[in-house]
Structure 1
Amino acid sequence: MGIDLEALYIDLHRHPELSFQETRTAGVVTRALSEMGIPFEEGVGRTGVVAVIRNGDGPVVWLRTDMDALPVEERTGLDYASTARGVDPSGAAVPVMHACGHDMHVTALLGALERLAASRAEWSGTVVAVFQPAEEFGAGARAMIADGVLERFPAPDVVLGQHLTPLPAGMIGVRPGTQMSASDGLTVTLHGRGGHGSRPHATIDPITMAAATIMRLQTIVSREVDPRDVAVVTVGSVHAGLKHNIIPAEATLQLSLRYPDDAARDRVLEKVERVVRAEAAASGAEQPPTIVTDHTLPPTINDLAATDRVTTAFRREFGEHAVIDPGMFTGSEDVSWFARDSGAPLVFWFWGGVDPELFARATAAGTVDRDVPTNHSPFFAPVLHPTIERGVEALVVSAREWLG
């Protein structure tokens, strides 16, 4: 009797875990692998799991998935909605939700391994399944590489991966070249001089400094980046002060920056640093701001030849209508570190999880942005079928292109 993938998915969705805390999730994975008789090692890159199916001579295909969830309070109303709580790196208690589909990613990979293990007579080679932690931190791939994943396991001839996205269930979105943007996460600390709220003239107010900085940062893309280019500057977090009549000494901003290549990255980073330092100086700051890079993610670049091969296989298996070029996504991923560090080609695609009828109605009404929840939304909830089946099939079809 095979794995009940629907039950497995629901269990994972009910029990999300934050980055580098995926111990229960890893346990679900290792139990399933044990039941299938697939050898594995756990604790790779802290909480990662790597499984290997060796089946004679042939290419080594890596299938990668991520396992972590987000500090989001679920509002889907599902009877299996998460009510989990966790502790974030700052020590704060936060709600936790699989708001980016990583629970579906894990489910699809386990289903694909079950099929590949059951069909060994039809293919030859080695499958390495990488269950990666901490993608949302942009740190899990580097942690596994630092833990020797490329040396301890068969090196890849190709790295394959997929991500759930708000396309109609059953659809595949894949493109050659840059599939996802590069990204940096920055923490900016603006240093003021605190004091009583009734005596602002005796202080250097970091809150007004932060407000001016946030507004000026928005002009980088609108006024300093060629409109034909892609760039994003988002201030996703602002923290300052504890009481209404106290002007604090510091304000902290967290920035998310996106760009298609390293040259654009250099340009945007220079402009961000210039704005932050200039606004601090304009506010009379006695100490320059502190700018810390929390993570750096390279662009996700699909190998041209390998992507053509996978796309052809998808169209042959699922039909021409089911495979589209979705354009470049400005979201970012750390999957490409495995390909970059190993020198293997990468193919990374998206698959849909939205009720096709809902998507069609929203498209006809021009309300997709409003009515179709996207990744990281508290309302993000893929339909179970055919999302599970298509996720499994896509991994098997793409892997078999190399395994024969």
Structure 2
Amino acid sequence: MCKVLLIDTNKKSLDPIHSAQARLLLRNRFAAVYRRFPFTLILKESRLDSPVQPLRLKIDPGAKFTGIALVNDATREVVFAAELKHRGFAIRDAINARRQLRRSRRNRKTRYRRPRFLNRTRPEGWLAPSLQSRIENIKTWVERLRKLTPITAISQELVRFDMQLMCNPDIQGKEYQQGTLAGYETREYLLEKWNRQCVYCGTKDVPFQVEHIHPRARGGSNSITNLTLSCEKCNVKKGVKDIKEFLKLDPTKLSKILAQVKRPLADAAAVNTTRFALLALLKTTGLPVEAGSGGLTKFNRSQQKLEKTHWLDAACVGKSTPILNISCVKPLLITANGHGTRQSCRTDKFGFPNRYVPRFKFVNGFQTGDIIKAVVTKGKKVGEYVGRVAVRTTGSFNISSRNGLVQGVSHKTCKTIYKKDGYNYAF
């Protein structure tokens, strides 16, 4: 990334600077490293107050990934970009596994248990843990970026897939559903549902056509459940044939397509469920919040001929999107890993304990997941190692470095670079 975040001695956010300026400040010892991720410098001496250009935080929330971009509306420059990977589906699978183990254990140990299904009340605005984790991840990074950068406005992609607008484009918002943006909501939904490939031949990276599974000539409707994507060659070849007639020689593919037609889009459901909760959260910051649809985001990206990535989608959110300058931008890849588990012991797939978990997480000031630097000067493992540490109560740690796993490194040779915060980082 060509921009480095900068704060003054009072931890007040300043204009992001070029990486060359950052190297100069560090070399002359005018600044020090304040934070590794995102990389931020803090000045050692106060300087005269200078005007700071406001930045706009843009967010493209998704079920698996959320795109984040900081855009300077005055200079049209993207000064920071990140792609945040959520762990919502991992939480869902863990909760399902826990429920299955509890039911199995209760069936083994309890002869009869009265049914209890009305003893839990959910507060207003309650979300499932797998969905709430997405909200909390975005909240964490909004708060971090607000502390480090002069953010004065926020843009969020509010409606990624609007089912009502797809069924009836005239219901609301004619100004962006008609004309140049007509059909963008439907096409984006179909691209996500059918994995951006032709359903008949599997071709990718070609212009797709919206195709009716049950042809209009034979009474098919324009319902979203009757639409799919195909390349021009397959669409012409199918013509007005019914899909059962067209794929009668390939029953496996036919059954797969018909099953996908009935299957709801889990990612779209997750986004639609959390969109207003995220909007309410962003409004609590007190900053003006701009909302834009998924169709408008794709239109902005297509007009500027930008590739399909999460951070570029975020940069194109909302009507305020200028002609973007994205030179030298390298997004920070963030993966939400959580803070571990509170289980006192681990279990096998049948729910029986199989290994012990230490009571204390910290060993000699280090915790599993910290990024450390170890300088070994004697023994069989002489060298410098940088990576994530797995602590042991014996004081002999394992380090997952870029060159592989290094085992048996003494804690006396280790120095913390970045404390574990529940996220993993890469470029």
TM-score, normalization by structure 2: 0.23
Q: Which has the higher helix share?
A: 1
Higher CA-based Rg: 2
* TM score, norm. by length of structure 1: 0.24
